[in-house]
């Protein structure tokens, strides 16, 4: 498999796929979502089931006749009904990807997490992973969790590690370097995540995660800048060369996400994992590009 | 007072001061600290008491004869002794600023926090505040806490707010916009910092912090980017225009610090506050420039 160096590679890979995926979009009536749907149809990288709430915008009827056979439109009374309908379409095998439009993330999550009719198998951990293209870093970086798990337990860290490492491998990194993020290098029981990190490192050494290198606790600069590591005398192969960042809590993951997009002009693609199909739940303030890349990513199966 | 728009303004202000401050430096024998001492002497913006451990490098004897009357050298057996000696020099009124060189921050903190002979008055909260110059943001931004307080209590948030707002005012911002950072806009008792934020906002409305505008909970992007705020329909004057960011925990503050310096080419100046004099405890991986700006900042009294 060819390695993926940047977001254009993700899109190229998806464009080369002959069997397009069908995407169920819940409440697609906002300008960003319309942009993504229109662009993906034009490029032929996905088909769409548009599940509207309240009314169907004329734009969607136009798309249906313009791209006959590639667009279907469903009408539901409320956003909650639309969410449940879209989840049903996935469960029936009609759609292979789910995408959030204008409704509140919590409302979509309620339908996804429904015990009898939802998309999470018992025992699976729901998490969010992001792939970022930061102009001042030489490769794509995968990180988690910026959006779903507030304070990961050991089991949740374990699942998050498996999801992110799998994504990195799917992008062509044979031995991902994983940085376990903290504000210092110290392991301290007052910071329970550092104790979890020690256990994750033991499991990695025992081969539980396959060919992978875990380092940390370390800070973001040590993880992504070799000079910072050498000043501190840290010699892990992860230092300055991280492929994956695991954050200790949702606030620090979210601060990383927002800071790289705002101040370092990063593009991101983010997705829910742990569900039976990938779910795109881009933030309202994400760029159109970011939402487009997220959908392309979901369709590649990189996170499958 | 003229407002301070960037780090050059801080240095200019300090260069115009006729009564130079004396800085006690603990273990100055590393290249970054030597650079800062040499540059400040050359520019005439500070005098130095160099408290060495073990041996005195010939470089320091050279500086003492080159800048007669502006440099004194002390020799102590160990880094711990050097830390206690430097704290004593401050307590005796010999030095108005304390600066960390090569020793471990914890060892310096032990001397600073000593109940009988330290630099923290009873009841004061020790915290760390940073001023950042981010090329992609149009003004200086003050934030806390990236280095000292792990999970601020309400009292600690209150102190952190007072320190950061005071710094922003000293920089010429008459009504600082303070963003209380979280990953979402929701107040939720599962996230105790959001409950503290509500109380801080009540106190601000009651006038406890003077002329100031508090907004939040909100994420970093909403705080510093007007478009993100308008997409989310948030109308606080803080949105897109923050002067101060208050972080919910040390991990998220530290992630912001490291991410802006590494990926967004920010320069930072950081300082301990709550102590009887400002203390410069720059991270080992900080740039020479960052350490120089931190010292200039400490000498201006902006954080006094």
Segment A9-63, tens digit of pLDDT: 888 887 777 778 999 999 999 889 999 999 999 999 999 999 999 988 899 999 9
Q: Is A299 helix (H, G, I), strand (E, B) or coil?
A: helix
Give yes or no: residues B32 and B101 share one domain: yes
With a CB cutoff of 8 Å and minimum separation 6, the contacts of A233 are none
Let me know if residue A1 belongs to a domain: no
Is B216 within 8 Å of B179 (Cβ atoms)?
yes
**Contact: B182, A251; criterion CB under 8 Å:** yes
The residue behind tokens 């039976």 is A276
Residues from chain B contacting residue A219 (CB–CB below 8 Å): 254-255, 258
Residues B253 and B168 in one domain: yes
A246 within 8 A of A157, measured Cβ to Cβ: yes
What H or E segment, with its residue span, contains residue B237?
none
The CATH number linked to B23 is 3.40.50.10950
Please state the domain count of chain A.
Answer: 2
Same structural domain for residues A66 and A94?
yes
Instruction: Decide if B259 and A260 are in contact by the 8 Å CB cutoff.
Output: yes
B256 touches chain A (CB under 8 A): yes
For residue B248, give the nearest of B177, B160, B151 by alpha carbon. Answer: B151
| pLDDT at residue A25, as a whole number | 97
Same domain, A147 and A255: yes
pLDDT digits (tens, 9 = 90+) for B34-80: 999 999 999 999 999 999 999 888 999 999 999 999 999 999 999 99
Residues A106 and A147 in one domain: no
Residues B208 and B295 in one domain: no
Residues A108 and A132 in one domain: no
- Asked if the Cβ–Cβ distance from A264 to B264 is below 8 Å, we say yes
* CA distance to partner chain A, nearest, from residue B225 (Å): 8
Residue ranges of E strands in B102-222: 127-133, 141-144, 177-181, 213-218
Q: Give yes or no for residue A304 having a pLDDT over 60.
A: no
Cβ-defined contact of B225 to A260 (cutoff 8 Å): no
In a domain? residue A270: no
Interface contact flag, B263 A266, Cβ < 8 Å? yes
Shortest CA distance from B135: residue in chain A: A263
Both B102 and B190 in one domain: the answer is no
Residues of B in contact with A245 (CB under 8 A): none
Q: Is A226 on the interface with B (CB under 8 A)?
A: no
How is residue A36 written in tokens? 């993504």
Radius of gyration of chain B (CA): 20
User: How far apart, in Å, are the Cα atoms of A243 and each of A180, A213, A297, B9?
Assistant: 11, 10, 17, 39
Determine the structural domain holding residue A258 and report its residue range. 127-264
> How close, in Å, is residue B124 to chain A by CA atoms?
22
Please list, in sequence order, all residues whose beta carbon lies within 8 angstroms of the beta carbon of residue A225, skipping any fewer than 6 positions away: A240, B262, B285
> Which of A180, A240, A252, A282 has the most B C-beta neighbours within 10 Å, making it the best mutation to test the interface with B?
A252
Residues 6+ away with beta carbon under 8 Å from B147: A183, B128, B250, B253, B254, B257, B270, B281, B283
Compute the distance between CA of residue A190 and CA of residue B239 in angstroms, rounded to an integer: 34
Q: What is the DSSP letter of A275?
A: B
Complex ipTM = 0.94
Cβ of residue B251 closer than 8 Å to a chain A Cβ: yes
Any chain B CB within 8 A of the CB of A182? yes
Q: CA B267, CA B168: separation in Å to the nearest integer?
A: 17
Task: Judge if B285 and B175 occupy the same domain.
Answer: no
Instruction: Report if residue B1 sits inside a domain.
Output: no
Per-residue pLDDT tens over the stretch B135-147 = 999 999 999 999 9
Which residues in chain A are contacts of B265 at CB distance < 8 A?
136
A260 and A142, same structural domain?
A: yes
Which whole number is the average pLDDT over B81-106?
95
Q: With an 8 Å Cβ cutoff, is B226 touching chain A? A: no
Candidates A228, A239, A262: best to mutate against B (most CBs of B within 10 A) is A262
CATH of the domain at B184: 3.40.718.10
Q: What percent of chain B has pLDDT over 70?
A: 99
Distance CA(A22)–CA(A98), nearest Å, equals 9
| Chain A neighbors of B220, CB-CB under 8 A | 254-255, 258-259, 262
Q: Tell me: the pLDDT tens digits for A216-235?
A: 999 999 999 999 888 888 88
User: For residues B164 and B126, what is the distance between their CA atoms, to the nearest angstrom?
Assistant: 13
> Would you say B214 and B223 are in contact if contact means Cβ atoms under 8 Å apart?
no
SS3 B267: strand
Tell me whether residue A103 is in a domain: yes
Burial per residue of A39-57, b for 16 or more beta-carbon CB atoms within 10 angstroms, e otherwise: bbbeeebbbbbbbbbeebe
Q: Quick one: pLDDT band at residue B304, thresholds 50, 70, 90?
A: low
- pLDDT given for residue B3 in this prediction: 81
A vs B: CB pairs below 8 A: 126
How far apart are the C-alpha atoms of B283 and A34, rounded to whole Å? 46
Query: Is A257 domain-assigned?
Result: yes
Q: How far apart are CA A206 and CA A144, in angstroms?
A: 23
- Residue A231's closest chain B neighbor by CA? B285
Mean pLDDT of A248-267: 97
- Residue B186 covered by a domain: yes
**Based on the domain organization, do A114 and A137 belong to the same domain?**
no
Are residues B263 and A264, on separate chains, in Cβ contact within 8 Å? yes
Q: pLDDT per residue over A57-73, tens digit each? A: 899 999 999 999 999 99
**Position A269 in a domain:** no
B46 and B15 belong to one structural domain: yes
Dump pLDDT digits (tens) for A127-165.
999 999 999 999 999 999 999 999 999 999 999 999 999
State the Cα–Cα distance between residues A250 and A21, nearest whole angstrom: 31
| Beta carbons of A263 and B258 less than 8 Å apart | no
- The count of C-alpha atoms lying within 13 angstroms of the C-alpha of A234, restricted to the half-sphere facing its C-beta, is 27
């Amino acid at each position: 498999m060819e390695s993926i160096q940047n977001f254009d590679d993700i899109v190229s890979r998806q464009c080369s796929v002959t069997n397009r995926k069908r995407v169920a979009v819940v409440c697609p009536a906002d300008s960003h979502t319309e942009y993504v749907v229109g662009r993906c149809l034009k490029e032929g990288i996905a088909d769409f089931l548009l599940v509207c709430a309240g009314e169907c915008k004329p734009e969607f009827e136009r798309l249906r006749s313009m791209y006959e056979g590639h667009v279907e439109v469903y009408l539901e009374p409320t956003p909650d009904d639309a969410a449940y309908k879209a989840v049903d379409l996935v469960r029936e095998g009609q759609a292979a990807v789910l995408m959030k439009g204008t409704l509140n993330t919590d409302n979509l999550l309620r339908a996804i997490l429904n015990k009898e009719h939802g998309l999470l198998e018992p025992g699976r951990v729901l998490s969010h992973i992001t792939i970022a293209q930061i102009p001042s870093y030489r490769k794509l970086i995968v990180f988690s969790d910026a959006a779903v798990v507030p304070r990961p337990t050991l089991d949740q860290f374990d699942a998050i590690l498996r999801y992110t490492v799998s994504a990195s491998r799917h992008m062509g990194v044979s031995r991902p370097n994983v940085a376990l993020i903290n504000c210092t290098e110290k392991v301290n029981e007052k910071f329970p995540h550092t104790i979890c990190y020690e256990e994750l490192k033991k499991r990695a050494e025992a081969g539980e995660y396959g060919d992978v290198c875990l380092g940390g606790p370390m800070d973001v600069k040590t993880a992504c800048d070799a000079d910072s590591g050498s000043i501190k005398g840290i010699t892990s192969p992860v230092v300055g060369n991280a492929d994956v960042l695991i954050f200790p809590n949702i606030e620090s993951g979210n601060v990383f996400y927002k800071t790289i997009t705002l101040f370092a002009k990063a593009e991101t693609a983010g997705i829910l994992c742990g569900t039976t199909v990938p779910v795109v739940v881009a933030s309202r303030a994400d760029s159109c590009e970011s939402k487009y890349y997220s959908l392309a990513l979901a369709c590649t199966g990189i996170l499958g």
